[in-house]
Structure 1
């Protein structure tokens, strides 16, 4: 069993652009206490096993089987068009912008990793945390192994900050077995490639239609995506059309027409959908209607209740109990 110390996490973070924080450990000694700093860096945070496998296609698996000895937080500032986090045992808390969720055994989250909207994760002390992270980086693929058109279109459908989904039991077993079996390198790569494609297929949000050729240029689409992410990750803010148009480097009328043509809804209809999805999460976590209204950007709970009822067909109070019925 390997002991993972503070310095080990920091070295890992430098390689993958992740900042680690250790709230339970005192890592800022008094001036001149170099020995205390060295002791802090050598303190064990977790014990167990971490395996990494990078595939020629651009997929990278990280499998963790750890006992968490001290709480730690990670903030990911990197970039990836797709990141999947699967929990097999234990619990992980995730946050992107205003969106928060907790992953428990058998649950997974899909997201696009973007430095402007860092992924925050918290691991509390627990006897066993088994998790699988799958990152896709097309720039890491070998020449000639670029993503297929189907995969590229699937990746374009990942539009939620944190899309939570359930992992079939059979696939959970396959993930566990794949890291315990001693297979030849080529065979192991093929097995992991197949698992990666299964996970991507399941991790794409349901109901997201595959977009055909965009009516705007590639450069305009990238700028529109910045606007969409701004609305997605901070729907509680009072975004103005003028501010969003400046972000997209377009006129206000151009943003209105191009956003609708690309995403199928108006700019502020999209923000409303994001607010309702976020509101449902807060209600399911036990926040009151009044608290939820303020958290998602409504000044008055009555206006929020009306919008929620129009969107979901039920009142916020009934909506908060749906998951537990």
Structure 2
């Protein structure tokens, strides 16, 4: 989750994060309402920490002033992100979903987002503001190796990690509030012990997050689940869309290939993907257009056709809504 949130590497107390600090990382693209940004222009200044505490367990802390409005875009890997906002506002877009975070000097809510497969990620800052937030990110490998056994409901924990782009919000316990504050204001320690101190608290935050989410899920249990046959039909439909994304298609044609009625297919996509069949098709085509632009294989006009748009203006609007960045910026920076 911190992939495009302002880290300039695996270090602390960076002081100033400039345009060049973002751009030296492969796969990150920047966009700003300011027409001209030089590599030496400062985007953020203050205290930062971005540290891999253990393989697969990352901690990102910001206590900084954002000097300018900007959008940073990158590819987000598979991970569980535990997010705690104390101050400031940030908008995120991951895949086809949007998330908003806001803090006003206090800490009352935790947010967990599950990303079960790599997705395009855009982080938008609204302009000059004081930003204080903490993110603990854990890969599936770390979670399966080090965390699931610490959760009473291990089966539920594994199921949680497969719930792509699920967002969970809950009221923090006094212990979690204390853990976040300890990370922001650690006791004076010799450098050799600081990472161990931070790791212990980060691990506890992940465990507390998973426990809170699982408790919430149990309270809300009882929703519809897909049968095995439903899952087979859904996968057939997705495979057909992937294979024929560049061709005209109808819900009826997709349903016929999947072996289900058109209304049944719409029901499956609503239940499993939280979107209509054509929303899914549109996203597949936009993903292909993004990849073609990022690799330099298509102009904006050609990418518009790949995505199924006859109007470049409509394409640009849909593209920005999906990825948080305009097509020309992706082509200019070569993000893919």
Instruction: Sort the TM-score into its range (normalised by shorter chain).
Output: 0.5 to 0.7
Residue 79 of structure 1 and its aligned partner are, at CA, apart by 1.9
Contact 2:31 2:70 in 1 (8 A): yes
Asked if the contact 1:154–1:210 (Cα under 8 Å) also holds between the matched residues in 2, the reply is no
Give the equivalent residue in structure 2 for 1:52.
50
Partner of 2:16: 3
Task: Quote the Cα distance in structure 2 between the aligned partners of 1:239 and 1:136.
Answer: 40
In the alignment, structure 1 residue 178 sits paired with structure 2 residue 183? yes
Question: Is the Cα–Cα contact under 8 Å of residues 110 and 158 in structure 1 kept in the other structure?
Answer: no
Q: Distance in 1 between matches of 2:259 and 2:162?
A: 24
The 1:78/1:271 distance shift into structure 2, 3 A limit, reads: closer
Question: Contact between 2:59 and 2:134, CA under 8 Å: does it hold in 1?
Answer: yes
Distance 1:272 1:60, change over 3 A: closer
Match for residue 312 of structure 2? none
Q: What's the CA shift for 1:147?
A: 4.4
Does 1:153 pair with 2:159?
A: yes
**TM-score in terms of structure 1 length:** 0.56
CA distances 1:126-146 after superposition (whole Å, capped 9, x unpaired): 34101112222134x499647
- The answer to whether the Cα contact below 8 Å between 2:90 and 2:100 also exists between their aligned partners in 1 is yes
| Alpha-carbon distance, 1:121 to partner | 1.8
1:73-84 → structure 2 map (5 Å cutoff): 73-84=71-82
Structure 1 residue aligned with 2:251, among 240, 245, 268? 240
Q: Which deviations, in whole Å up to 9, do the C-alpha atoms of 1:50-76 show, x marking residues without a partner?
A: 212324363212111110001121223
SS at match of 1:91: strand
| Counterpart selection for 1:196 from 196, 200, 206 | 206
**What number of residue pairs does the alignment pair up?**
237
* Alpha-carbon displacement from aligned partner over 1:99-154 (angstroms, at most 9, x marks no partner): 43421124444333367742322112234101112222134x49964744443233
**SS of the residue aligned with 2:76?**
coil
**Structure 2 Cα separation of the partners of residues 225 and 198 of structure 1:** 38
Q: Which residue of 2 aligns with 1:93?
A: 91
- In 1, Cα distance between equivalents of 2:234 and 2:84: 28
Distance 1:242 1:55 in 2: 50
CA distance in structure 1 between the partners assigned to 2:237 and 2:30 by the alignment: 28
Matches within 5 A, 1:31-50: 40-50=38-48
Map residues 210-221 of structure 1 onto 2, 5 A cutoff: none
Following superposition, the deviation at residue 189 of structure 1 comes to: 2.0
245, 249, 252: which one aligns with 2:259: 252
C-alpha spacing 1:272/1:70, structure 2 compared with 1 (3 Å): closer
Q: Distance in 2 between matches of 1:200 and 1:245?
A: 40
RMSD: 4.5
Shift in alpha-carbon separation, 1:245–1:157, aligned structure 2, 3 A: farther
Q: Which residue pairs with 1:26 in the alignment?
A: 36
Change (3 A) 1:66 1:178: same
Aligned-partner Cα distance in 2 for 1:112–1:241: 32
Aligned-pair distance for 1:87? 1.3
The answer for the alignment partner of 2:126 in structure 1 is 124
8 Å contact kept, 1:57–1:146: no
Query: Which structure 1 residue ranges, 4+ long, deviate > 6 Å from structure 2?
Result: 219-222, 224-227, 254-257
| Distance in 1, Cα, partners of 2:34 & 2:57 | 33
User: What TM-score does the superposition give when structure 2 sets the normalisation length?
Assistant: 0.55
Q: CA deviation at 1:178?
A: 1.9
Question: For 1:225 and 1:192, how far apart are their aligned partners in 2?
Answer: 41
- 1:44/1:165 Cα in 2 relative to 1: closer, same or farther (>3 Å)? same
Is 1:111 paired with 2:116? no
Determine if contact 2:116/2:165 at 8 Å carries over to the other structure: no
Equivalent residue for 2:271? Answer: 270
Matched-pair contact (CA < 8 Å) for 2:87–2:131: yes
